[in-house]
Amino acid sequence: MRGFLCLVLSLFVLAACGTTKVEPVSAARGEAEAPDRAGPDRRVTLLDIAQTSKRYSSGIFGSLEIPARVEPGETDGNLISQWGRIQAWIRDQDPEFRACIRSPAACRSAELRAWRGLIVSARGLDAMGRLNAVNGYFNSWPYLLDDQVYGRSDYWATPIEFMRNSGDCEDFSIAKFLALRHLGFRNDDMRIVVVTDTIRARVHAVLAVYFRNDTLILDSLSDEILQHTAYTHYVAHYSVNETARWEHLNLNGGPLAAFDPRWRQLACRGGALLG
């Protein structure tokens, strides 16, 4: 009943806010596709939101997921700016990583040699073994806040920077994402998810992997890989992979997601119901 009342209240708030443009992208494997759109000028209505809530009822951590197109060079919002910089670095450095994996002679740093050791040792394992190997390997790094390492409140480190300096939650997730890409996992099977940890009352990030019709969570706080449904204290806000991003509404008794400015108008421009 609580979830139903929250859904009704949320839909009422969204309807009261007026209309908002939403441009879809292809959903990740194992999820429903976005509702059909008539074109870029199609506006979200109360009926659209109700239909979306039905089709995205099994999203990460029980959220309703709204896909959003990521335009080339888009930098609006801290998350897109930080993730875009990481993606550009990966595109530039990936050939060197792969050359190192093929031959130890091509590994020009201690970090690349360590990376090669992980990939070579894990690639003979089955899929679940590779997930456990990557999660356990990077979780052995100490957890350090950005202001301790980089002297700023929020900085998304590249995998090499993380292996050299350690880092915080999103840095663990980024390194795991790239390692699993090198171990054969598809981009569409993974997302970096920004959440609120309601127990610790802080923002956190994890890596979600779609595996055997389930969603598994690789978390820097645990060496055990669990289903996303086990994390009842995580409230999802955003998720990203190489080609898409999603905004998350939390209608099952949790607070509404804290949207970035591009989407905040969906909740009356930061009204009292925002988490």
List per-residue pLDDT tens for the chain, 275 residues long. 444 444 433 443 343 333 333 333 333 333 333 333 333 334 444 455 555 555 544 689 989 888 876 565 555 567 788 999 999 999 999 999 999 999 999 999 999 999 999 999 999 999 999 999 999 999 999 999 999 999 998 999 999 999 999 999 999 999 999 999 999 999 999 999 999 999 999 999 999 999 998 999 999 999 999 999 999 999 999 999 999 999 888 765 444 434 333 333 333 222 222 22
- Among 70, 66, 69, 43, CA closest to 56: 66
Look at strands 190-197 and 226-227 and give their pairing. unpaired
- 191-239 residue pLDDT tens: 999 999 999 999 999 999 999 989 999 999 999 999 999 999 999 999 9
What is the per-residue pLDDT for 44? 44
What is the per-residue pLDDT for 249? 86
Q: What is the DSSP string of 173-204?
A: HHHHHHHHHHTT--GGGEEEEEEEETTTTEEE
CB 176 within 8 A of CB 141: no
What is the per-residue pLDDT for 47? 53
In percent, how much of the chain has pLDDT > 90? 58
What is the per-residue pLDDT for 79? 79
Tell me the pLDDT of the chain averaged across its residues.
Answer: 77
12 contact partners, CB below 8 Å, separation of at least 6: none
∠ CA 239-233-240, nearest 5°, is: 5
What is the per-residue pLDDT for 54? 52
Distance (Å, whole) CA 44 – CA 14: 10
What is the per-residue pLDDT for 250? 78
What is the per-residue pLDDT for 25? 31
